[in-house]
Amino acid sequence: MSFDTIIQGGIVITGDGSASFRADVGISAGRITDIADLSDAVPNTAEVIDAAGMIVCPGFIDIHTHSDVTLVDHPGAQSKAYQGVTTEVTGNCGFSPYPSPDGNSGSVREGIGPTLSSTEDWSWTDVSGYSEVVNQNGVSINVAPLVGHSALRIAAGAQNDAPPTPDQLAHMQRSLEIGIEQGAFGMSTGLTLPPSSYATTDELVSLASVMSRFEHAFYATHARVWAGWHVKAVEEAVQIGRSASVPVQFSHIAIVDSRVHGHGEQLVAVIDNARGSGDDVTTDMYPYTAASSGMSQMLPGWVQEGGVSAMLARLRDPATRKKAHESTSKGWFGGLPFVFSTMVIATVASEENAGLVGKSLEEIAADRGVDGVEAMLMLIDEEDNEISKIMHNRVEGDIRFFMEYEHAMIGSDGNAIERTGIWESSMPHPRFYGTFPRVLGKYVRDEPLISLETAVHKMTGMPARRLGLSDRGVLREGAVADVVVFDPATVIDLATFEDPHRYPVGIPHVLVNGEPVIKNGKHTGARPGTVLKRGV
Ligand SMILES: [Zn+2]
């Protein structure tokens, strides 16, 4: 038998959670064609990767990302490819760059805000159009898109804190159905992020129900984790999945309310009970004690009603600005107290405020002689809402608890970027660059919590199953050759909150669809990735 590539002498972890074993991996025409002792074939093989002392496993599938448009700006997907990620799930937290009303992407772009910042035009209007642009451009890794609920609401003109009209709901249902038919893997919500957050449970059930006839299409939810809602938020997700007969992915599970830190068992009990009743519910998490999002997520829903222009108009009118200040001062997410020293600027749009990146709201407020809430409102106003922050609001014990939870996958909640363009002077969350090697280095090797096989399973087989991808996320004959080779003794993240644009070490080889994207620790420039379609 002959091969295009042999990965020789490594320890194979197949991704299904089973024990590792020593074998060579043969690849032909983009597929894994043999896993065995292939030393006889080595002399006749053009490409032989020496994996002695290394782990050979499926490429990581990042179940939770916001790389929708960064993959257009940065088709090399550097911050993810260097981690061993070979597939990004996009369209999360209600944010997708489609559908667009009447072929005009401007309003969905404005409505989505800084989570999907890009420099390129959004020339597409739907999932197919987006996929075509990404594929024509070329991309180094694969993409599995979701349809975002905020985008559906914006496209239907339902940006108010009210139920959609019957016409608007029908428009959203039809748009979602089209997106799923075009290959999207499911629908996401962002239930602390307007306009998605304006939805009632009933609205979400009516939408999610549209997906029930499509195999594997799932409901991914950034849940309604308001003050006092940490358990109710999981219950709502379970209820929506059950009522709509669709699987549920509970996104980035965490506890952000300091009053209930240490009570992760209350959240997973809801998932375990649902699973015990036959519901297909899983979750994902990232290995950091800080979150990151657009700044405006901290404002009360009424301030954001009607979209970004309406919000900015309120902040620029003295009377409503005063009201916004009063009501924001009551706390975030329905009453959690602000700790401005823990809120650090990650990205801004203007040159004038570039110097604020990396500073806390406490420092900025002191410099400007205003309180923290006013500093926040000023910055949202000055930046036309194009401002994001990092917020240190979690505890390590909860991170370890959720990572160990058997139905939790790893998802970065980060973007595939490189330090150019709008990211040049930004300080993004280090999860963009470090999530997967951090789990492998810190939580498998240095502060042992889970086994290597379990960690890899959480990054490969588990998300592949959620996506319904039968030939990825696994190393077996016939599977697509998305493969990572890493050194278990040295793999680690280097990105920090102070110095986030740093690639990890210990991951010398990453193959996407059989082609090397990272070779001997360097990006090859190859763009073998593609936008995947559900059920194909
Ligand atoms: Zn989210």
pLDDT for res 455: 98
CATH of the domain at 480: 2.30.40.10
Q: Which residue has the higher pLDDT, 307 or 431?
A: 431
pLDDT for 110 = 78
**Residue 371 belongs to some domain of the structure:** yes
**Is 529 part of a structural domain of the chain?**
no
Cα separation, 91 vs 75, in Å, equals: 17
What separation in Å is there between the alpha carbon of 274 and the centre of ligand 1?
22
Residues 21, 165 within the same domain: no
Q: How far is the CA of 392 from the centre of ligand 1 (A)?
A: 15
pLDDT for the residue 427: 93
Alpha carbon of 252 to ligand 1 centroid (Å) = 7
Question: In the chain, what percentage of residues exceed pLDDT 70?
Answer: 99
Distance 298 CA to ligand 1 centre (A): 13
Among 364, 391, 418, identify where a domain stops. 391
Q: Are 433 and 355 found together in one domain? A: no
Could you tell me the distance, in angstroms and rounded to a whole number, from the CA of residue 222 to the centre of ligand 1? 5
At 249, which CATH number?
3.20.20.140
Same domain for 311 and 268? no
Domain match, 161 and 274 both: yes
Structural domain of 284: 60-289+394-467
Asked whether residue 137 falls in the same domain as residue 260, the answer is yes
**Does residue 48 fall inside a structural domain?**
yes
Tokens of 256: 């952000």
Residue with tokens 């070779």: 519
CA of 179 to the centre of ligand 1 (A): 20
66 CA to middle of ligand 1, Å?
9
- Full DSSP string of 339-403: -GGGEEEEE-S-STTGGGTT-BHHHHHHHHTS-HHHHHHHHHHHTTT--EEEE----HHHHHHHH
**Residue 284 CA to ligand 1 centre (angstroms):** 11
Q: Are strands 5-12 and 47-50 parallel, antiparallel or unpaired?
A: parallel
Residues 138 and 228 in one domain: yes
pLDDT at 202 over 80: yes
Taking residues 58-70, report their average pLDDT: 97
Helix (H/G/I), strand (E/B), else coil: 448: coil
Cα 188 to averaged position of ligand 1 atoms, centre (Å)? 9
pLDDT digit string, tens, across residues 19-35: 999 999 999 999 999 99
Distance 365 CA to ligand 1 centre (A): 27
* Among 442, 467, 492, residue at a domain's last position: 467
Ligand 1 mean position to 251 CA, how many Å? 7
Burial environment of residue 497 by CB neighbours within 10 A (0 to 12, 13 to 18, 19 or more): middle
> Residue 275 pLDDT > 70, yes or no?
yes
Phi, psi of 399 (to 5 degrees): -60, -50
Assess whether 362 and 227 both reside in one domain.
no
Q: What does the pLDDT average to over 50-61?
A: 98
- Report which residue type is found at 409: M
Residue 491 lies inside a defined structural domain of this protein: yes
Q: Is residue 308 part of a domain?
A: yes
CA of 293 to the centre of ligand 1 (A): 8
Q: Which residue has the higher pLDDT, 184 or 121?
A: 184
Tell me what pLDDT residue 1 has. Answer: 81
How far is it, in rounded angstroms, from Cα 142 to Cα 33? 20
| Whether residue 405 is found in the same domain as residue 386 | no
Residue 531 lies in a domain: no
Residue 102: per-residue pLDDT:
64
Q: How many alpha carbons lie under 13 Å from residue 220 in its C-beta half-sphere?
A: 34
High-pLDDT (> 90) share of the chain, %: 93
pLDDT at 104: 64
Binned at pLDDT 50, 70 and 90, residue 105 comes out as low
Contact 383, 117 (CB under 8 A): no
* Same domain? 319 vs 231: no
For residue 458, report the distance from its CA to the centre of ligand 1, in Å.
Answer: 19
Angle at 320 between CA 314 and CA 325, to 5 degrees: 100
Does residue 535 form part of some domain? no
Instruction: Measure 289 CA to ligand 1 centroid, in angstroms.
Output: 15
Whether 135 has a pLDDT exceeding 70, the answer reads: yes
The answer to whether position 423 is within a domain reads yes
The closest alpha carbon to 269, from 407, 106, 126, 132, belongs to 407
211 with 149, same domain: the answer is yes
Q: How many independent structural domains does the chain possess? A: 3
Indicate whether 64 and 196 sit together in one domain: yes
**CA 343 to CA 286: how far, in whole Å?**
18
DSSP 120-168: S-----SHHHHHHHHHHH-BSSEEEE-EEHHHHHHHTT--SSSPPPHHH
pLDDT tens digits for 489-511? 999 999 999 999 999 999 999 99
State yes or no: pLDDT of 448 exceeds 80. Answer: yes
Instruction: Find the mean pLDDT for residues 192-213.
Output: 97
Do 159 and 76 lie in one domain? The reply is yes
* Cα–Cα distance measured from residue 82 to residue 292, given in angstroms and rounded to the nearest whole number: 21
